[in-house]
Structure 1
């Protein structure tokens, strides 16, 4: 079955995946685009390594690795997150990366799951892998969500904020409009701390189920550390299938360290610098004939370019994220991470050379 809801522009919802979407394509992520020797614009991790203070903090826990992770360590991590967001520790679930949280959402046993697209595909992959049907809610031309497009019967709604790969930051009021008794609203805020001031975040208020990641800002992709915020009863359902000791000692310590006031202040400063870099990179890319930079607020940019541009960039030694694996986008879209100006200039010049050649 399929339905159409009219808004400012036509917004479609379709059951299951869009044509051509398979579990393999839904589970394609930017890390597979990279390879030794390529300049990496495909992965949205900031920096080549965690900051020295964080590495030292983690190194100091290596002597504890002979022991199993403890309930006390988990409690301290939940308390640190709770203080950071003004929540109760019972409203926090520490995760082995937010990807683990998505793998757990089939445990919520939704009867009617709706996933906003284009968006991070792992939630849909987890639901479909568990045999659960998924309704697509495709955003309008500006990739903004119209709450009225979400089926009223949906008892699980998944949306990113800011959304990956579009970078759109949806108003918190639009997200709150999706809250219903008996419905779980899951907001993926993996990149929220990279937006100055964390506007539109629901992390500090009850109602939604919010996933957060430490991967991006703190260059911890190899550690897998994050957390969920939500109603304790929902968190208990989410955690029911987990094995014992689901989060390792190093990850628990990383959550504590990155939730402390000094780290939060550092993340805020990094977000301001990143926003400046984003503005400069977006302007430089928009000046290249044949490149359309779509509006957004995230530490990455969605570009509309001639088909084949991604492959030509790879031939020039530059990796970008293909976007035809995201429902609602095609081979004429790529996502590029925001980098410092000198590195961004390499991408701008390569695109200029490629697209001048295409035009010729």
Structure 2
């Protein structure tokens, strides 16, 4: 099936996220945050930052750290309260005539656009959810795409994503999971072609969902417009400390080592699931797997009864009631989940 453009509809709950799947006593395979984080050294830096809470946050050191991390100029960096704030700011500042979101992907960008009063058109990817640039309407002046994409775990070629850019169009690339990819070969953060804005998050790798720490990279003119719309001191002092710390070379090396370990365990888990006759979206590159299971909602309910939370797929445009997203954990945890799935006949 080829990619297809369809009008925006209200057929799914765009505000449903993995955190609503978890609960007391449930093993969490629903949220894509690295387990066992933040690491001790980062937690200590955060604790130390509390001594400076009487002063207003100073974003300049963190902005410079992000710029060094990606080889950018500080004026190309906007620090945000997580990636979600960046989506909201873009929706409030931009005035697209034809906004397109490439699905399946993280639903918050479309939700933010709709909340700001914009009509949204969806391009739903076809077989194996690979990017078909020809499916994006030529006159779209705003295109949003994830890379690697949540929930499919597909990593699109950087050149294909960059080819979406053209005069008069803004392309927003959600790279919240790019640090799951060893070497980040398909990132556009270091290239930053004209017309492209890249959004990054510290939530996933460093376990900072509750801190809200992220950033956007874009042309300085767009960064300045977004900064004007951003509330004063939107990013807290602890979040700024975390951003600066996680951009240091030692932290980047630690994240790279984790990404290598993750890739090996993810591939093993994918093979185990595929050997059971399940369709697992191929070439997964992020910290989760997307799989098609008959009666996925029923399986999800049975897993909850056994103490396991997984992410339903039917709230992602382009998927449906036969899809689940499963986070990749350590080998022992993954094997325990496989054992329960076997007991359920999967």
Deviation sequence 1:252-307 (CA, Å, 0-9, x none): 01000000101001110010011011011111222224x22111211100011111
Equivalent-residue separation in structure 2 for 1:332 and 1:281 (angstroms): 19
Instruction: Give TM-score scaled by structure 2 length.
Output: 0.96
Asked if 1 retains the 8 angstrom alpha-carbon contact of 2:192 and 2:198, the reply is no
Equivalent-residue separation in structure 2 for 1:346 and 1:287 (angstroms): 17
Deviation sequence 1:200-219 (CA, Å, 0-9, x none): 11000122100000001111
Shift of 1:355: 2.5
Q: 1:219 aligns with which of 198, 207, 214?
A: 207
Match of 2:243 in 1: 255
Does residue 115 (structure 1) correspond to residue 78 (structure 2)? The answer is no
In structure 1, the residue corresponding to 2:5 is in which secondary structure?
strand
Matches within 5 A, 1:56-205: 56-70=44-58, 74-106=59-91, 107-205=93-191
In structure 2, the residue corresponding to 1:355 is in which secondary structure?
coil
Structure 2 segments unaligned to the other structure (5+ residues): none
Asked if 2 retains the 8 angstrom alpha-carbon contact of 1:108 and 1:237, the reply is no
* Structure 1 residue runs of 4 or more that deviate by more than 3 Å after TM superposition: none
Equivalent-residue separation in structure 1 for 2:257 and 2:2 (angstroms): 39
User: Is the deviation greater in 104-113 or in 184-193?
Assistant: 104-113
**How many residue pairs are counted as aligned between the two chains?**
340
Equivalent-residue separation in structure 2 for 1:127 and 1:337 (angstroms): 27
Shift of 1:11: 2.1
Q: 2:280 aligns with which of 286, 293, 298?
A: 293
Equivalent-residue separation in structure 1 for 2:301 and 2:342 (angstroms): 15
CA RMSD of aligned residues (A): 1.1
Match of 1:3 in 2: none
Equivalent-residue separation in structure 1 for 2:226 and 2:324 (angstroms): 33
Match of 2:322 in 1: 332
Asked if 2 retains the 8 angstrom alpha-carbon contact of 1:288 and 1:348, the reply is no
Instruction: Give TM-score scaled by structure 1 length.
Output: 0.92
